[in-house]
């Protein structure tokens, strides 16, 4: 019962949050910013999670109807798709952080990499790359007869795949976002010092404070949120794999499964609440949201 209400709640919260995200990111004042394009891609990735992954998990854990068990092909494809789409939002956030690094750089070569053309190339490229990393799922996942479950075979692959998910879903995107975020802050401070006393520099400083700083703030905030929740979700996915000795005890196995499922659901929380914690923390985006409501009136 808890699973049903939990999934329905985060579905509704995520739907309205990402809808408002897209309304903000498509505003005329923001839509041509390459960083906003990455944030928009992350919001679309969140849509995929709430419309595909959340309903599948609701049926599986809330109603006991697993779509993974109809055939071995379905087991492979469903697991592949679910693993693929859940990684997309955090990788697009990492790209947004890298874009802010390029935009704030003193190097003209690096600044040219902060462009719509580059974003339109990187977004599908990263999407394909993540899909390629999940191809082993199509090879090694099978339906285990007792208990009947869609699971990676052999057990060694389960452990390796769990570690790979931890790295791809949590470690790399979070570290990239934080590293490039702090490098961007350093660029901005250096730029502000060089711009002191120059009108043109001051205008550039104001522009950074009004738009770029807000974008940096939201990418850093979301990176922390995604890093914590995705790491929790990855741990939940590995929880039932690492300790095989407890499988001899049905009660202990049931406890493990419950804890693992709860941790896995926490991993899906950040794509659904990012608007309320991250987007609304930005003064720029709050102002754009107010403008949307005023325009509708």
pLDDT at 250 over 70: no
- Is residue 82 within 8 A of residue 53, CB to CB? The reply is yes
Burial of 3 (0-12, 13-18, 19+ CB in 10 A): middle
Number of residues assigned to the chain: 297
Buried b (16+ CB within 10 A) or exposed e, 5-41: ebbeebbebbbebbebbbebbeeeebeebbbbbbbbb
Please state the CATH superfamily assignment of the domain spanning residues 2-296 in this structure.
Answer: Rhodopsin 7-helix transmembrane proteins (1.20.1070.10)
185 or 210, which is more confident: 185
Instruction: State pTM to two decimals.
Output: 0.82
pLDDT tens per residue, range 160-175: 887 888 888 878 888 8
pLDDT tens per residue, range 101-125: 898 888 888 889 999 999 999 999 9
Range with the poorest average pLDDT among 25-39, 62-76, 124-138, 202-216: 202-216
CA atoms 199, 201, 206, 211: torsion sign: positive
Of 2-11, 124-133, 184-193, where does the model show the most confidence? 124-133
Average pLDDT for residues 33-44, to the nearest whole number?
90
> Domain ranges in the chain?
2-296
């Amino acid at each position: 019962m808890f699973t049903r209400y939990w999934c329905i709640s985060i579905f509704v919260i995520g739907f309205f949050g990402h809808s408002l995200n897209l309304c903000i990111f498509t505003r005329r004042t923001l839509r041509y910013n390459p960083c906003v394009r990455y944030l928009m891609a992350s919001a679309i990735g969140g849509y995929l999670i709430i419309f595909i992954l959340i309903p599948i998990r609701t049926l599986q854990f809330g109603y006991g109807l697993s779509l993974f068990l109809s055939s071995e092909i379905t087991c492979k494809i469903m697991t592949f798709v679910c693993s693929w789409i859940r990684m997309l939002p955090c990788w697009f956030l990492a790209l947004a952080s890298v874009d802010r690094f390029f935009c704030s750089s003193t190097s003209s070569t690096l600044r040219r990499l902060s462009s719509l053309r580059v974003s339109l190339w990187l977004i599908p490229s990263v999407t394909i790359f993540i899909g390629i990393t999940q191809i082993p799922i199509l090879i090694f996942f099978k339906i285990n007869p007792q208990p009947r479950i869609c699971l990676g075979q052999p057990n060694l692959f389960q452990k390796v795949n769990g570690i790979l998910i931890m790295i791809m879903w949590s470690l790399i995107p979070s570290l990239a976002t934080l590293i490039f975020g702090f490098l961007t802050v350093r660029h901005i401070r250096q730029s502000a010092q060089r711009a002191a006393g120059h009108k043109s520099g001051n205008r550039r400083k104001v522009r950074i404070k009004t738009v770029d700083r807000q974008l940096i703030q939201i990418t850093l905030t979301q990176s922390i949120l995604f890093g914590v929740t995705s790491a929790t979700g990855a741990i939940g996915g590995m929880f039932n794999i690492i300790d095989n000795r407890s499988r001899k005890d049905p009660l202990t196995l049931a406890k493990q499964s419950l804890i693992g499922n709860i941790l896995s659901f926490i991993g899906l929380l950040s794509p659904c609440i990012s608007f309320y914690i991250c987007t609304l923390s930005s003064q720029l985006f709050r102002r754009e949201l107010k403008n949307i409501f005023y325009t509708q009136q």
